[in-house]
Each structure stands twice: as structure tokens, then as C-alpha cells.
Structure 1
Amino acid sequence: MALRHALAFDPIAVDDPRSDLAGTMRSFDPRSPIVQIGDLSAQRGDGVFESLGMVGRHAQEVSAHLARLAHSAALCDLPEPNLAQWREAISRVVVHAPETGESVLKLILSRGVDGAGAPTAWVTLADAPDSTAAREHGIRVVTLDRGYTADVPERAPWLLLGAKTLSYAVNMAAIREARRRGADDAVFLSSDGYVLEAPTASVILRRDGRYLTPEPAAGILHGTTQRSIFSYLGSLGVDTAYARITRDELRSADAAWVVSSIRLAAPIVQIDGEETARDAAMTASLNRYLLSPRD
């Protein structure tokens, strides 16, 4: 993704009396260096982030993404984000987006430079990848063992399952493995056989007219796009629920999708080499909704 603009700022506490939040921020050329080599985001992946889809100059689901940023920060023992400051940063960046088309806004909160004792933060704007083919023609997935059982989050909260951290090496390795197997993406399974999520997306399926997604308590990221879709489906009078879902239930679903802020709703058309049912009309409906301005 080609970067268009970047802005860095020094995070301030939620009870900081300063009102000139813009004065804490500085724009910079996204092609120039900004992260110090000692920053723990670069050295250890010690930080959290959010990726927001943008339609024109409208950032989608800002409140939901900021709430999840704060949740991830709490899980990682990072300072509580001053959400007013983050909103100001977003407002100063979105004006640099094209008036039409799709972009990606990334929010990053790092523990900061090793030994400095203060977090660092920045926001970047980039062109969104072209997801037309995935949305219209669907994606092939393989299921991969995530390496833990569904009850691990309760027993080992220090694994930070459910936090959107910068430590994405495993996620990227899973996508590479999926491509080695001739697929486009992966769907993680718990070691006891339950569907979790894709490396960068949530999973939604439909069975007998009911839309289901894996329980967030299983240690997955609670997807902002998944929640938005459930809200949309609820407005249509459609039944939705969180559930424990097996691979066989995913395989035999009436239709299934991976959904995210950037790719939006991509129908799953093949699982582990087996063709699956799809619903082109519902896919189109979901993507029309996801491409409409939402706060």
C-alpha cells in the first residue's frame, strides 16, 4: 500500500488539561524515517494498532476502532489512550485522502523507546489494496491449527489473545502457508477443533437462515466489521449469534465470509480444496452496506 500521509504525536494522559491537542502533533513525509531504532514497536512488536477503512474522506467506524484500541492497550498494560487526542489526529489526516475511492487509516500506539518510559504514537494514510476480485469472486481458504485450545484465554491471559498487537509474524506466516497450499487465506482452528478467525479477518457463516460467528471468548479479535454486519443484519430482522463452530459446520454452511475493515466481505468459495456454497446476492448487499459511510 502506497503511503500518502503520516502524522506523529506524543500521547497525553486522559486527565491532561491541555486543550490544544493539535499542538502535540506533527506531520511528516511518509517516505522519511520517523520510528527510532530503539522503539519497542520495531524491536519487539510491543504495541497495538487499528486499521480503519476509508470511503472518500470518511473514516469508517471510528468509535468502534478507538474503543478496541483502548481495550488492546489495557490488555497490554499500555497507558490509556486519550481518545480525544486520537480523534484530533484522525481529523488532521483524513483531509489528505482522495475525495473518492478507498483508503486505509492506521493507528499505532507503541510502548516507546526502550528506557524512555513514554509511549509513542502515529497515524498513517495509505491507498487501500484492490479487493474487487475477493469481494466479487470469493477466496479459497485452508484451515490451520492455531496451536491452543478454545479455553486458553481464560487460563493464560498473558498470551494477549484478543488484543490487536503489532506482533503479526504468526498471522503473516499463516497466510504464506495458505498460499503454499494453493489457497488465498487461512482460517485458524483451535486445537480442540473450533473455528477461530482468519489471520486478518473475522469469520461469519449462515446456517438455516441464522448468521453465526465464533465466540470472542475463544481468544479472537472481536471484529469491528463483524459487529457492524451483525447490526445491519439485525436491522433487517435477521437472527445473529455468537457460537462455537466446528470445521464441519463451517464446511457445510449455507454461505460463509471472511470480513474485515479493508477487504470488507469476501465470500469463502473453497475450504481445504472442497467447493462451498455461496450467496452472491447477500455478498453484494453486505458490501454495499460496508461501503456506505458509517460512524
Structure 2
Amino acid sequence: MAWRSAVSIDPVASDDRRTDFADTITMIDPGAPAVLIGDLSAQRGDGIFESLGVVDGHVQEVGPHLARLAHSAGLCDLPAPNLAQWRAAIERIAVEAGPGENVIKLILSRGLDQGPAPTAWVTLATAPDSARARRDGVRVVTLDRGYTLDVPARAPWLLLGAKTLSYATNMAAIREAHRRGADDAVFATSDGFVLEAPTASVVLRVGDRFVTPAPQAGILHGTTQLSLFAHLETRGFDTAYENVPIADLETADAAWLLSSVRLAAPIASVDGRDKSIDRALTAEINAYLLAPRD
């Protein structure tokens, strides 16, 4: 990504009654040092983040992303973010976006070890070119996530439903996918159920029915997936959250990886076996996802 702009935030209490947060938001040089060496985001990956797509200056799904930021903060015992302050920071940096596709990232760190308060910033970058993935699809391999379907309920301290900065495992999975000749990975439980991709949700079409793995399995509930399901329901399709066996990735009529920046990338092969792509429906889905959404 080409970093274009950034702001730092001096977090205020979630119940702050003010409406003007200008004095808490500071423009910073995206190419200059901005994080202190003792910040726990850098030392331990101890923090949370969100990535928002920006299309021709319009920031997509601000409300759902802020709600998920607050949810992640609760899971990680971080102070509740003041969502009005974060919205003000998003609006401040969005004016720098301009035409085309960009990405805004929200980052909330626990701050300095033994420090007085969390640290936070918002960045703007040019989005990667996803045209090929949206058109031709992605080849995926299934990788064992290392736990069974019931682990999230038994071990909530694993933070499996939070969007944390600790993405080493996710990036390692993508590197392993590349070593196996694929573009991306799909995590599965040790007892054989689909979870999610390292940076995307998984959606399957079976006839006129669309299915995604249930979030209770310890996956991140995708904002793009939620928006797509709402759109599909207005068109008369059935949508469902279910436990999805790995075999369904191959047998489904079509499948996609969904994320805020890449949008809908059809799955073109699973573990080296080709899968048909519904190009017309994929183009329709991406047209919807590229349109302004609040």
C-alpha cells in the first residue's frame, strides 16, 4: 500500500459529551516515525484495528466498522472507544482520499507499558489493485487452524472473535498458501469445519441459498458479508449462518472470499481442484459493494 495520510488521536472517554474533537485529532506525516518504541502495539501486537474501504471519497460502512471496533475493545479489555471521536477522525482523513479506491485503517493500541492511556491513529492508503482477483478469482488451500469448533466457547481468552493487531498467524497462513501454489488460505477447524480466510469472510452459494460460517465458531463477523447478506435478502435470496463442512467448499455452486478492500473474490480452486466461477453474479455483487454504503 502507498500511505497517503495519517492522524493521531488522543482518546477521550466513551461517555464524553462533547461534539467537537478537533483538539484531539492531529495530522501527522505518514512517512515519519509516529509510534514510540515502548508502545504495546509494536512490542506485543496488543491492540485492535479495522480496515474501511473508501470508494471515490466515500467511506464504506462506517457504523458497522465502529461497532466492531467497540466489540473488539470489549473482548480485549481495552477502554471503550468514543465512537463520535473516531467518526470525526475518519471524516478528517477522508477528505484526503480523492477518486479511486483507498483504505482507511483504525488502530487502537493499549499504549505504553505502564502508560497513562491507550494510543490511537487513523491512516489512509491507496488500496491494492484487486481487479484480477475480482474477475478471475483466487486459488485457496484449506489449513488447519489448530482447534475444534467448540473451542471459542470453552476458551474466550483466545480472543478468536476480536480483530487484533496480532496477525502473525494470518500472515504465516498466506505465506503457506503461496508455498503451495495458491493465492490465499481458508482456515478450518481440526474437526473439519470452515472458518474464514486470514483477511476475509467465506460465503457459499447452494442453489438460491447463501451460507457463511456461524460467527460463534470464533471468527470475525465480516462487515462486508453482513452488507451483502442484507442486499441478497432484498433480492429474495435466503441467507444463513451455519456450521460449514470443508467438503462444501468444493461442492457449493459458487464461493467467495469477502473483505472490505478486495470485496468479492470468487474461489477458483480448492486445494488444487478447480471450481467454477459465477462471473455474472460476482460482477453484480462487486457492483453493489463498490456503490456507496453507510
Q: TM-score, normalised by structure 1?
A: 0.99
Q: C-alpha displacement at 1:200, in angstroms?
A: 0.1
Structure-2 residue corresponding to 1:45: 45
Counterpart mapping for 1:18-167 below 5 A: 18-98=18-98, 100-167=99-166
Structure-2 residue corresponding to 1:268: 267
Counterpart mapping for 1:124-273 below 5 A: 124-273=123-272
Moved more, 172-181 or 277-286: 277-286
CA distance in 2, matches of 1:18, 1:60: 25
Assess if the C-alpha contact under 8 Å between 2:9 and 2:25 holds in 1. Answer: yes
Assess if the C-alpha contact under 8 Å between 1:207 and 1:255 holds in 2. Answer: yes
Q: C-alpha displacement at 1:222, in angstroms?
A: 0.2
Deviations 1:222-241 (A, max 9, x none): 00000000001001010000
Assess if the C-alpha contact under 8 Å between 2:19 and 2:84 holds in 1. Answer: no
CA distance in 1, matches of 2:152, 2:113: 28
Q: C-alpha displacement at 1:250, in angstroms?
A: 1.3
Q: C-alpha displacement at 1:277, in angstroms?
A: 2.1
Q: C-alpha displacement at 1:25, in angstroms?
A: 1.1
Amino acid corresponding to residue 167 of structure 2 in structure 1: Y
Query: Does 1:16 pair with 2:42?
Result: no
Q: C-alpha displacement at 1:14, in angstroms?
A: 1.7
CA distance in 2, matches of 1:19, 1:242: 38
Assess if the C-alpha contact under 8 Å between 1:51 and 1:104 holds in 2. Answer: yes
CA distance in 1, matches of 2:284, 2:15: 43
Q: C-alpha displacement at 1:15, in angstroms?
A: 2.1
Amino acid corresponding to residue 241 of structure 2 in structure 1: Y
Q: C-alpha displacement at 1:285, in angstroms?
A: 0.4
CA 1:238–1:17: 2 relative to 1, 3 Å: closer
2:244 is paired with a residue of what secondary structure? coil
Identity %: 67
Q: C-alpha displacement at 1:16, in angstroms?
A: 2.5
Deviations 1:156-185 (A, max 9, x none): 000000100000000000000000000000
Q: C-alpha displacement at 1:113, in angstroms?
A: 0.8
Assess if the C-alpha contact under 8 Å between 1:253 and 1:277 holds in 2. Answer: no
2:85 is paired with a residue of what secondary structure? helix
CA distance in 2, matches of 1:57, 1:205: 31
CA distance in 2, matches of 1:209, 1:236: 11
1:104 is paired with a residue of what secondary structure? strand
Q: Which runs of 5+ in 1 are unaligned?
A: none
2:221 is paired with a residue of what secondary structure? coil
CA distance in 1, matches of 2:106, 2:214: 25
CA distance in 1, matches of 2:17, 2:94: 26
CA distance in 2, matches of 1:31, 1:37: 16
Structure-1 residue corresponding to 2:285: 286
Structure-2 residue corresponding to 1:7: 7
Q: TM-score, normalised by structure 2?
A: 0.99
How many equivalent residue pairs?
Answer: 294
Deviations 1:16-35 (A, max 9, x none): 24443111111011000111
Deviations 1:218-269 (A, max 9, x none): 0000000000000010010100000111111111110000000000000001
1:63 is paired with a residue of what secondary structure? helix
CA distance in 2, matches of 1:103, 1:20: 26
Q: C-alpha displacement at 1:207, in angstroms?
A: 1.0
CA distance in 1, matches of 2:19, 2:278: 50
Q: Which runs of 5+ in 2 are unaligned?
A: none
CA distance in 1, matches of 2:155, 2:102: 36
Assess if the C-alpha contact under 8 Å between 2:204 and 2:212 holds in 1. Answer: yes
CA distance in 2, matches of 1:178, 1:78: 33
